[in-house]
Amino acid sequence: MPRIDIPIKWLFQRRPADWARYVQPGSREEWVRPYKTEYTPRKESRLDNVLEIDDPSSPYLLHFEPMGYRDEALPARMLRYRSDIWEATLAGGRSTPSIRQVVMFFYKEDDNGLHRLSDRWDTGGLEYSYTVIRVWEERRQPVITAKLVGLYPLLPLMKGEDAKESLEQALKKCIDTVQEIEDGSLRQDLLAAMAILAGGKYPPELVLSMIRREMVMESPIFQEWVREERAEAEARGEARGKVEAKQDAICKYLRRRFGDASAGLQEKVREMTSL
């Protein structure tokens, strides 16, 4: 699966109102603003993507949690995030704001299916859940009709109107939608994010043939993603090199100590210490 944190973080920061309107269609852009960082807990929390929605009828916080990996403890983590916010607001002399939490899954294999917690005792109990959005179950056209540009990179992962469309046809329609955007810089960034996210569903050669490097190479989001992918690959290479050096040292000792009789043992050492 591709790493989604870079494109999703960028999309959320660049077009926060689009995400709020997707979850709550009645939301207005002028109501949406990033949640004040001084209220966000700083220790032992990866809480991010929180918006303050100044709905005149009932203000609330909107917390998005994009999931690009499988987490068996997700419900407990989401409950902790809610508690983190309330702990920070109470410590700051504020009340406990209303919070709507939304978990968004992009690929089926990341959803463990557990999104509710409950506990009961003699004097009361706990019932906790949150909104779950599975992108592959969502329809593409409402996003396009509402012009939720910040979600356009998700279009290839959504359902089209034609159930029989091929992957190539689906991807082309999504690319054509982005190509209609007049802002060239925004268009490049959206295509770069789309290429990264589509990599979890479409064959890489298809994505590369339709979203070519020259279409996205000037995009900061693409450049940052390439840098992080390269750094991770180098780190994996260094780790593999260290393991192989350790294997060689152990096998060299075994050959010197036991000669040809150690061949089977050397093979076992390499098998047990492989990455």
Q: Quick one: average pLDDT of 189-198?
A: 90
The confidence band for 4, taking pLDDT boundaries of 50, 70 and 90, is confident
pLDDT above 70 covers a percentage of the chain that reads 76
Q: Which residues pair with 101 in a beta bridge?
A: 63
Decide which of 107 and 246 is more confident: 107
pLDDT tens, residue by residue, 10-49: 888 889 999 999 999 889 999 998 886 555 554 445 667 8
Place of tokens 């450049």: 223
- Inform me whether the pLDDT recorded for 51 exceeds 50: yes
State the pLDDT at residue 172.
95
pLDDT tens, residue by residue, 158-182: 999 888 899 999 999 999 999 999 9
Q: What is d(CA 250, CA 266) in angstroms, rounded to the nearest whole number?
A: 8
Q: Quick one: average pLDDT of 116-135?
A: 90
Q: What is d(CA 266, CA 226) in angstroms, rounded to the nearest whole number?
A: 38
| Burial tier of 206 (Cβ tally within 10 Å: 0-12, 13-18, 19+) | middle
Q: Quick one: average pLDDT of 130-159?
A: 96
pTM of the model: 0.76
pLDDT tens, residue by residue, 200-251: 899 989 988 998 877 777 776 767 666 765 666 566 565 565 656 666 766 6
Which string of DSSP letters, residue by residue, matches 109-157? GG--S--EEEEEETTEEEEEE-EEEEGGGSBHHHHHHTT-GGGGGGGGG
Q: What is the DSSP letter of 260?
A: G
